């Protein structure tokens, strides 16, 4: 039996972006319902991390933005960067009644660097106090649309109540379902299976920047503790104990370690971490020592094996294309926030991991929530029943049968998580990835039974992977985090966003409509 | 992956059932929750933070279940460590949140090339 409800604004996803969207929509006067696959407060990657927000006082912003535009290799937009710096600066401190912003050693209150669990607990407390209807363990499975194509709401299941179906009709929907790390060991990313990308694409929205998924983060082997700070002072060794001549901490070091891991085990020691930091590590990142303490490892003396987990679109950049100043998508009534959205305009072609992504999640949350609230007041629901839009993993095109999802998971592991495919890219490898992923997609879309969260997640993961691989093939150059071993230089004619879309037939196209980077920040023609 | 629930410590408040983002626990009438789907655990340690009774233990291995010696865990002092060091609830004044130091660490690393100062 379906439980149907109405709301002004429906927000799908209760991580950082969804929570700020709820604040934005409520402040704009809407009644708001937020659904989360898990629990709003612990779901999503922010809750397990320590997000530092991009932060600059007004007088420093021109310089900060200019530096980011240059680093972003022509894909950033100055106006958007200024907007997220401004919104973050003005709004993050408003969380003070719910989050105890600490003072640093100089006695100055620090707003920008927050701790994930406490931050998400504070956001949850605030939206509860604002009267937002929060429905935990209510995964959304599909969007609903009116016959004219405008988004009408969503439908999903209550997974703590026998997977009974819920349906919510809304004047506008904000997708804040996160990015995806392709089920890697990225901390806190289990629920992030690209559901919001798939739902948006089924509604006809385009994605952008899907080739920028080649971000990886270090962790002790066999753990998912992808917290990097201590590794800025790490020493690495091969299995014979020889010190590896790694580049300084940063993307170049990550690539160096990935290459070393393809040759064999890599060990790490943190003995160079300064004593005063060691003494305070558990108060900076209290989850980091949990791994070492439980294994009886002294990371400042012992050598331990490390691994790298893919960040996919989380520290990558890809997502649903934003087409308006209030984070509208190209689909009427559908807004997008956080990692569910493409982020080249605020990050450029390099990772927005940490600070830029957090400022974006906060800002896009507030903007999308506000925009959705305005729309929900303007639009009257048409007559008739909303049409469900979900396809792969819900409504098979062929004979329905219990789907064996293991081949899909294996394809994702191989094509999206292995360094030789996902990081060190080539046309040959990407074409092989495409074949494998297409075959897995065909199986899931033709046969996977409806109503199963796992099948729907597999469909979303495969769709995302296919857009990523198709985009990486078309961008036959190396730019930012996208590295093509067979095309190492940056091409002057590729300084544009690359859009992707389509489900059974994946398609891409260049978007040459945006050229905002000043000439001084442009690279030389190779 | 979630490994142990110490029934003798558990107050059956069911907060872990509510807050686990991966829906690992099932509520059971009149008793401690059941670790019903350990394979779904994402090893985020949030259940340990929210468990006021310090009755849960998550092993750091994220992909596969491992054998954990309950007696060793009880003696080892790791129960409640995450909550304590986070300054969660009653620990707030004793363990201040020094997350703000993170950017200082990165800056010192960049200044020294990650070498010992």
* A297-309 pLDDT tens trace: 999 999 999 999 9
Other C-beta atoms lying within 10 Å of the C-beta of residue A78? 18
In chain B, which residues have their Cβ closer than 8 Å to the Cβ of A43? 21
Distances (CA, A) of A29 to A23, A77, A332, A340, A375: 10, 30, 20, 24, 11
Q: State the nearest Cα–Cα gap between A285 and chain B, in angstroms.
A: 7
Contact call for residues A163 and A202 (beta carbons, < 8 A): no
To the nearest whole percent, how much of chain A has pLDDT over 70?
97
Question: Looking at the domain A216-310, which fold is it?
Answer: Flavocytochrome C3; Chain A, domain 1 (3.90.700)
Which strand (E) or helix (H) includes residue A383? none
- Average pLDDT of the segment spanning A374-387: 86
* A454-472 pLDDT tens trace: 999 999 999 999 999 999 9
In chain B, which residues have their Cβ closer than 8 Å to the Cβ of A115? 86, 97, 99
CB interface of A with B, residues 260-279, below 8 Å: 272, 274, 277
CB interface of A with B, residues 402-461, below 8 Å: none
Least confident of A18-22, A317-321, B103-107: B103-107
- Which single residue is written with the structure tokens 């997000």? A51
CB proximity A38 to B under 8 Å: yes
- Which single residue is written with the structure tokens 């994402």? B42
Give the separation between CA A14 and CA A366, rounded to whole angstroms: 13
Q: Return the pLDDT at A457.
A: 97
Q: Which of A471, A499, A458, A407 is nearest to A180 (CA)?
A: A458
pLDDT class for A513, splitting at 50, 70, 90? confident
The partner residue sitting opposite B78, judged by closest CB among A47, A118, A294, is A294
Other C-beta atoms lying within 10 Å of the C-beta of residue B7? 11
Give the separation between CA A32 and CA A24, rounded to whole angstroms: 10
CB proximity B95 to A under 8 Å: yes
Length of chain A in residues, anyone? 526
Q: State the nearest Cα–Cα gap between A323 and chain B, in angstroms.
A: 31
In chain A, which residues have their Cβ closer than 8 Å to the Cβ of B95? 282-283, 286
CATH no. for A3-213+313-388: 3.50.50.60
DSSP string for residues in A219-280: EETT------GGGGG-EEEETTSPBP-PPSTTHHHHHHHHHHHHHS-EEEE-TTS-HHHHHH
Q: Return the pLDDT at B54.
A: 98
Same fold, A216-310 and A406-520: no
- Average pLDDT of the segment spanning A53-75: 96
Give the separation between CA B62 and CA B73, rounded to whole angstroms: 18
* A193-211 pLDDT tens trace: 999 999 999 999 999 999 9
Give the separation between CA A16 and CA A22, rounded to whole angstroms: 10
Give the separation between CA A498 and CA A173, rounded to whole angstroms: 25
Q: Return the pLDDT at A323.
A: 97
C-beta atoms of B62 and A223 within 8 A = yes
DSSP string for residues in chain B: -EEEE-TTT-----HHHHH-TT--EE--TTSPPEE--GGG-----HHHHH-TT--EEE-S-SSS-----HHHHHHHT-TTHHHHHTT-GGGTTTS---GGGHHHHHHHHHHHTT---
Q: Return the pLDDT at A382.
A: 77
Other C-beta atoms lying within 10 Å of the C-beta of residue A93? 13
DSSP string for residues in A345-366: HHHTTS--TTHHHHHHHHHHHH
pLDDT class for A1, splitting at 50, 70, 90? low
Q: Is residue A432 pLDDT above 60, yes or no?
A: yes
pLDDT class for A490, splitting at 50, 70, 90? very high
Q: Is residue B117 pLDDT above 90, yes or no?
A: no
Q: State the nearest Cα–Cα gap between B94 and chain A, in angstroms.
A: 10
Residue A44's closest chain B neighbor by CA? Answer: B21
pLDDT class for A526, splitting at 50, 70, 90? very low
* B53-80 pLDDT tens trace: 999 999 999 999 999 999 999 999 899 9
Give the separation between CA A394 and CA A444, rounded to whole angstroms: 9
Q: Is residue A89 pLDDT above 90, yes or no?
A: yes
CB proximity B89 to A under 8 Å: no
Q: Return the pLDDT at A521.
A: 42
C-beta atoms of B115 and A272 within 8 A = yes
CB proximity A280 to B under 8 Å: yes
C-beta atoms of A187 and B97 within 8 A = no
- Average pLDDT of the segment spanning A405-426: 95
Give the separation between CA A501 and CA A471, rounded to whole angstroms: 10
pLDDT class for A520, splitting at 50, 70, 90? very low
Query: Dmax of chain B from CA atoms?
Result: 58
The partner residue sitting opposite A52, judged by closest CB among B22, B102, B108, is B102
pTM, 2 dp: 0.96
Q: Return the pLDDT at A519.
A: 41
In chain A, which residues have their Cβ closer than 8 Å to the Cβ of B43? 187, 223-224
- Domain definitions of chain A by residue range: 3-213+313-388, 216-310, 406-520
* A120-156 pLDDT tens trace: 999 999 999 999 999 999 999 999 999 999 999 999 9
Q: Return the pLDDT at A383.
A: 77
Least confident of A223-232, A300-309, A399-408: A399-408
- Number of alpha carbons in the 13 Å side-chain half-sphere of residue A320: 34
To the nearest whole percent, how much of chain A has pLDDT over 90?
92
* A295-350 pLDDT tens trace: 999 999 999 999 999 999 999 999 999 999 999 999 999 999 999 999 999 999 99
Q: Return the pLDDT at B116.
A: 56
CATH class of A406-520: mainly alpha
């Amino acid at each position: 039996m379906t439980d149907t409800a109405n709301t002004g604004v429906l927000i799908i996803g209760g991580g950082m972006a969804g929570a700020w969207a709820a604040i934005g929509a409520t402040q704009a006067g809407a009644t708001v319902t937020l659904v989360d696959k898990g629990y709003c407060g612990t779901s999503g990657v922010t809750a397990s991390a320590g997000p530092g927000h991009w932060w600059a006082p007004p007088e420093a912003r021109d310089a900060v933005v200019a530096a980011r535009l240059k680093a972003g290799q022509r894909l950033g937009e100055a106006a958007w960067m200024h907007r997220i710096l401004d919104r973050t600066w003005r709004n993050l401190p408003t969380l003070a009644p719910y989050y105890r912003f600490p003072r640093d050693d100089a006695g100055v209150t620090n707003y920008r660097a927050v701790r994930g669990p406490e931050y998400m607990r504070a956001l949850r407390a605030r939206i509860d106090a604002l009267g937002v209807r929060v429905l935990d363990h209510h995964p959304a499975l599909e969007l609903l649309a009116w016959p004219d194509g405008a988004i009408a709401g969503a439908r999903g299941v209550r997974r703590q109540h026998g997977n009974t179906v819920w349906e919510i009709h809304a004047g506008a929907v904000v997708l804040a379902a996160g990015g995806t790390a392709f089920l890697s060991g990225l901390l806190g990313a289990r629920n992030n299976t690209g559901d919001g990308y798939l739902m948006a694409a089924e509604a006809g929205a385009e994605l952008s920047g899907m080739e920028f998924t080649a971000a990886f983060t270090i962790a002790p082997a066999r753990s998912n503790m992808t917290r990097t700070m201590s590794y800025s002072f790490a020493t690495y060794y091969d299995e014979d104990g020889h010190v590896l001549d790694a580049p300084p901490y940063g993307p170049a070091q990550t690539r160096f370690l990935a290459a070393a891991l393809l040759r064999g085990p890599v060990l790490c020691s943190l003995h160079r971490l300064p004593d005063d930091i060691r003494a305070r590590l558990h108060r900076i990142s209290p989850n980091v020592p949990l791994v070492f303490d439980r294994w009886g490892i002294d990371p400042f003396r012992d050598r331990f094996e490390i691994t790298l987990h893919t960040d996919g679109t989380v520290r990558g950049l890809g997502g649903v294309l934003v087409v308006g100043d209030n984070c509208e998508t190209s689909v009427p009534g559908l807004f997008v926030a956080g990692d569910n959205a493409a982020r080249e305009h605020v990050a450029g072609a390099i990772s927005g991991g940490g600070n830029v992504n957090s400022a974006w999640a906060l800002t896009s949350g507030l903007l999308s929530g506000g925009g959705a609230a305005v729309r929900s007041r303007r639009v009257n629901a048409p007559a008739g029943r909303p049409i469900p839009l979900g396809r792969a993993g819900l409504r098979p095109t062929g004979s329905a049968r219990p789907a064996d999802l293991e081949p899909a998971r294996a394809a994702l592991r191989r094509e999206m998580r292995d360094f030789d495919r996902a990081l060190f890219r080539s046309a040959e490898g990407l074409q092989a990835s495409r074949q494998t992923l297409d075959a897995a997609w065909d199986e899931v879309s033709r046969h996977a039974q409806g109503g199963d969260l796992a099948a729907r997640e597999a469909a979303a993961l495969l769709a995302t992977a296919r857009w990523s691989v198709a985009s990486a093939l078309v961008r036959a150059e190396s730019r930012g985090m996208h590295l093509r071993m067979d095309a190492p230089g940056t091409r002057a004619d590729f300084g544009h966003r690359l859009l992707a879309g389509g489900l059974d037939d994946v398609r891409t196209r260049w978007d040459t409509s945006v050229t905002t980077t000043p000439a001084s920040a442009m690279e030389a023609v190779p | 992956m979630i490994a142990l629930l110490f029934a003798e410590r558990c107050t059956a408040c069911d907060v872990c059932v509510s807050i686990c983002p991966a829906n690992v626990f099932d509520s059971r009438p009149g008793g401690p929750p059941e670790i019903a789907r350990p394979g779904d655990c994402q090893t985020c340690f949030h259940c340990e933070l929210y468990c006021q009774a310090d009755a849960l233990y998550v092993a750091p291995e994220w992909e596969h279940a491992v054998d954990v010696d309950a007696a060793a865990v009880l003696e080892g002092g790791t129960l409640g460590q995450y909550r304590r060091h986070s300054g969660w609830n009653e620990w707030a004044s004793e363990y201040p949140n020094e997350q703000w130091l993170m950017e200082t660490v990165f800056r010192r690393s960049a200044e020294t090339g990650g070498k010992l100062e």
